[in-house]
Amino acid sequence: MRTVCFTVLMGALLAAGCASSQGESYAMVGYDFTSLNKVAIVDVTGRVYGEVVKNQISDFFVMELMKRGYNVVERKDIQAVLKEQEFQASDMTSNEDAARAGRIYNVPAVLVINIPKYKDKMEMTAKLLDVEDASILWIGSGSGNTGKGLATFVGAAAGAAAGAVLAGGDTSDRVIGGVAGGVVGGVAGNALSPDQEKQIKKVIAKVCETLPSRIPQPPKK
């Protein structure tokens, strides 16, 4: 019975980890995106913490932008310049502030990423702004599973079960205790786990799915 319960729990968690990502985006009608020779990723705001994680998420956006022919200035480089200019993170509260940051770095457009929800499921928006007037050239949003809760539950359960087996004791209470402890403690570490990276890349790909390309497209037959 206890083995069955553990199997059911693991199956439910794995199913949650396979939840599909969703996204949508819109571009300014008539805008010539081929004119953007460079885009700077200004910041990643919202419910994610730590420079390492923010830079990882920024890097995933760099990949999507480069696929479409954009030259990209990474977030960490922008942050270094803004720090020299005494431009505080708290100043990045509006489109106008983000555009002003882009003018400091002398780029025509900036990308601002916001993650208002980051738990078992994440929600994300990204805005490409013209630095001259802070108008939105493109905006995308997406959501999906992060792998965060999955890593917590599976890691805690597996660790507790292994510990119980090594001790020669009953696994059920140890597994339940380990899972509960994992939920309370969350995922340790200052970087995304491989599973989190995989899931977040899927969300970002959905967010950027219809981001206009600067690479000339072959005419439709």
> Checking DSSP bridges between strand 109-118 and strand 22-27, what pairing results, if any?
unpaired
Distance of CA 198 to the CA centre of its chain: 10
Q: Could you give the CA distance from residue 150 to residue 145 in angstroms, rounded to a whole number?
A: 9
pLDDT at 162: 40
Q: What is the pLDDT along the chain (221 residues), one digit of tens a residue?
A: 544 443 333 344 334 444 467 888 899 999 999 999 899 999 898 988 898 999 999 999 999 999 999 999 999 888 888 888 777 655 566 899 889 889 988 999 999 999 998 888 899 999 999 999 999 999 999 999 877 654 443 344 444 444 444 445 444 444 334 333 333 333 334 789 999 999 999 999 999 999 999 987 776 66
The topology (CATH level 3) of 2-207 is: Rossmann fold (3.40.50)
The structure tokens listed for 218 are 């072959």
**Residue 158 half-sphere exposure, CB side, CA atoms within 13 Å?**
8
**DSSP of 177-200, one letter per residue?**
HHHHHHHHH---SSS--HHHHHHH
Q: Which residues pair with 73 in a beta bridge?
A: 40
Q: Is 173 helix (H, G, I), strand (E, B) or coil?
A: helix
Domain ranges of the chain: 2-207
Q: Is 172 helix (H, G, I), strand (E, B) or coil?
A: helix
Count Cβ atoms below 10 Å from residue 91 Cβ, excluding itself.
13
Query: Residue 50: left if φ>0, alpha if ψ -120 to 50, beta else—which one?
Result: left
